[in-house]
Structure 1
Amino acid sequence: MTSTSTPEGLTRFNGLEESAARAALLDACAATAWVDRLLAARPYATVEDLYAAGDAAMGELTAADLAEAMAGHPPIGRPKPGDPTSAREQRGMAGASEELRAEMLELNLAYQDRFGHVFLICATGRTGEQMRDALRERLGNPPEREREIVRAELGKINRIRLARIAGPVEEDRTQEV
């Protein structure tokens, strides 16, 4: 494969029926406005074009759209049962002590009380302690600042998930996120 050819996974995504492509994108981000924007721009010539469309759509999300996107994410430390994406992304909490789990639950509840939504962080590659420390730090943010951090974190998560959608077919089941 040359560098100018379209990756196999992106070709597969471009060729999906709209309902299947919608389902794949909703797995990446629960905001229907984001999904609609990405669907409308298909087909993508390169993975970078897909990322750029995802980033642009993220920048255009309203507060209601962000709330819809956040509703698709479980609290840190409590991945959705039976959801391999959620479990993989929150792997840093997998071996956490009961003490750390209890602290994360308490901090998550305080965060939800303060901001009205789940604490959202790109958990990929972070330890439970790093996520706890970030949550502690962000609890002190003003709501406006926190909304922008959430938008940035959601953008990181979406890029990782788009990479899985558009990545090489042989990596779909094994690629670590």
Structure 2
Amino acid sequence: MTSRPPPGLTWLNSSDEGEAHGALREVCASLVWAEKVLARRPYADVSALFDASDAAMAELSAGDLAEAMSGHPPIGRPKPGDPASAREQRGMSGASAELKAEMLALNLDYQERFGHVFLICATGLSAEQLRDAVRARIGNTPEREREAVRDELVKINRIRLTRLTQQHEGA
């Protein structure tokens, strides 16, 4: 017995290239990633979409990763008016003023060290877990941190692709 693909996956497979490309760029800001995922349509199931996403992420250059990160605000400061950003960073919403100030300082130290925002799949993490993660990763070498960022983007993209396949305006 075969199950029906989620409505958003059907939409992604059948929508015109421009619409699908726009939706994918909402998932990940990397143009190269979106093009690679778009090129592998149609997808038989969400697992195949995840595989394509993961493979595209693995192939991104340092510049492409920087572009992907550009779509992410610093932890503790979600994009104003962006419900996805607020949802993903929900763990910081109840943090104390002291912890928020510490996160701001850690974010600035991290950004000075690596040249980009601290990127983590924040979904489901508490403010304390986010703080501990930035503390742990700030000592990484630039090369190790770039791979940590790549791993976090894979997780974020999977969450966002799941949301896209479960409900999309055109579905």
With structure 2 as the length reference, what TM-score do the two structures score? 0.95
Give 1:1-150 correspondences, 5 Å limit: 3-150=2-149
- Secondary structure, aligned partner of 1:125: coil
Q: Give the drift of 1:13.
A: 1.6
| Separation in structure 2 between the aligned mates of residue 138 and residue 17 of structure 1, nearest angstrom | 40
The residue aligned with 1:166 is 165
| Separation in structure 1 between the aligned mates of residue 54 and residue 33 of structure 2, nearest angstrom | 9
Superposition RMSD in Å: 1.5
| Separation in structure 2 between the aligned mates of residue 3 and residue 107 of structure 1, nearest angstrom | 49
| Separation in structure 1 between the aligned mates of residue 77 and residue 89 of structure 2, nearest angstrom | 8
Stretch deviating more after TM superposition (57-66 or 17-26): 17-26
| Separation in structure 2 between the aligned mates of residue 16 and residue 93 of structure 1, nearest angstrom | 36
Q: Give the drift of 1:168.
A: 5.1
Q: Give the drift of 1:12.
A: 1.5
Q: Give the drift of 1:169.
A: 5.9
Structure 1 portions without partners, runs of 5+ = 173-177
Q: Which amino acid aligns with 2:14?
A: G
| Separation in structure 2 between the aligned mates of residue 20 and residue 94 of structure 1, nearest angstrom | 33
With structure 1 as the length reference, what TM-score do the two structures score? 0.92
Q: Which amino acid aligns with 2:85?
A: S
